[in-house]
Amino acid sequence: MAFGKPIAEFGLIKAKIGEMAIRIYAVESMIYRSAGMVSAAVSEPGGDKTKQAMQVLEEYAIESSISKVVGSETVDYCVDEGVQIFGGYGFHEDYPVARAYRDSRVNRIFEGTNEINRMLIIQMLMKRAMAGIVPLIPAAMKLADEVLAGPSFEEAPTGAFAEEERSLAQAKKVFLLAAGTAVQKYREHLADHQEIVASLANIAMDVYAMESSLRRAQKSSAKRGESASVMVDAARAFIYDAMDRVEKEARTALAATADGDALTTQLAVLRRFAKHAPLDTISIRRRVAEAVLAQDRYPFEGR
Ligand SMILES: Cc1cc2nc3c(=O)[nH]c(=O)nc-3n(C[C@H](O)[C@H](O)[C@H](O)COP(=O)(O)OP(=O)(O)OC[C@H]3O[C@@H](n4cnc5c(N)ncnc54)[C@H](O)[C@@H]3O)c2cc1C
């Protein structure tokens, strides 16, 4: 209670509760998706099960690194906001949130520090692109043609999730733009430019989280209709904010890679790709927080 009402009734507390649930939703969607793919691949009929499991884990190493980094940073974000919601009590060891705060911190350090995992995500992705396992090179060539041709309104997504589908497709283009420019300039020395690599990794992680959040919300919406509306809200808010982060990371990487007229052109292309319709994320966070408070728990588990 504060000023005669429960703190959960304050907008800023609702914003924290809503954002925590939205971020957990995104990372949970990503982990369900990765774990589902690993589990399906491991259970495929085959000879040597141990060898097969090792091969599958190697195949999904990028998704694993992404899940490790996003998962550990999400838990840190949530416990930090948890301490804040408890106010002074959050600082006292008498309250469980103080221990959660202390214990969560190590997750960004062990199992490969998040810095090293960020480097690995891009290193592995580039290696697979060069080997033709991940079709990034043809996608980058197609993108270069599109950039030269100017804006196109062909094949614009339609339907209830049109804006989110568009954002996802555009975020992938932003990654190709920033990564392609960096690879062209630094080639085999890209790994020496760790800050650029980290920006590329941040974009890749957000793209994976955007896609995982969207696919789960679409599935749930098709299955449960209106009762999935809060989950749809969570996916929309996550994708909207992720698009802003993706644009910022790409701007940082491009500014460290190009200059002069080339940079001006790249930034104009980036602005075109990153444009997205406004969304009232304050109202969305409030609605998500209401769902948390009504159920007295994280509201999307198992859905
Ligand atoms: C509670 C706990 C349990 C653990 N359990 C285990 C366990 O069961 N098994 C096990 O093998 N290990 C375990 N560890 C060790 C853990 O894996 C290491 O602490 C972790 O890998 C980081 O290595 P380091 O401590 O040597 O830090 P360092 O490698 O010295 O890193 C220090 C800082 O420099 C950064 N850094 C290092 N290299 C680079 C680089 N090339 N580029 C950019 N930045 C870099 C790191 O990201 C970090 O921020 C545990 C650690 C803790 C705290």
Write the pLDDT tens digit of every residue in 209-229. Answer: 999 999 999 999 999 999 999
In sequence order, the β-bridge partners of residue 2 are: 5
Catalytic residue, from 73, 111, 163, 290: name it: 111
Identify the weakest region by mean pLDDT among 19-23, 126-130, 152-156, 225-229. Answer: 152-156
User: Atom 5 of ligand 1 has which residue's CA nearest to it?
Assistant: 110
What's the average model confidence in pLDDT over 188-211?
98
| pLDDT category of residue 303 using cuts at 50, 70 and 90 | low
For residues 293 and 68, what is the distance between their CA atoms, to the nearest angstrom?
28
| pLDDT category of residue 41 using cuts at 50, 70 and 90 | very high
* Residue 111 is among the residues annotated as catalytic for this protein: yes
Ligand 1 centroid to residue 191 C-alpha, Å:
19
What's the average model confidence in pLDDT over 236-251?
98
42 neighbors 53 (Cβ within 8 angstroms): yes
121: nearest Cα among 189, 193, 69:
69
Closest atom, ligand 1, to C-alpha of 114:
47
What's the average model confidence in pLDDT over 168-189?
96
289 neighbors 21 (Cβ within 8 angstroms): yes
Q: Does the structure show a pLDDT above 70 at 154?
A: no
Best residue for ligand 1 mutational test, from 68, 69, 109 (most atoms within 8 Å of Cβ): 109
Domains of the chain: 7-112+288-295 (1.20.140.10), 116-279 (1.20.140.10)
For residues 197 and 280, what is the distance between their CA atoms, to the nearest angstrom?
32
Task: Please list, residue by residue across 28-42, b when 16 or more beta carbons sit within 10 angstroms of its beta carbon and e when fewer do.
Answer: bbbbebbeeebeebe
More confident residue, 190 or 146: 190
Q: What angle do CA 61, 63, 68 make, to 5 degrees?
A: 95
Q: Residue 183: CA atoms inside 13 Å, Cβ hemisphere, count?
A: 17
pTM of the full structure? 0.95
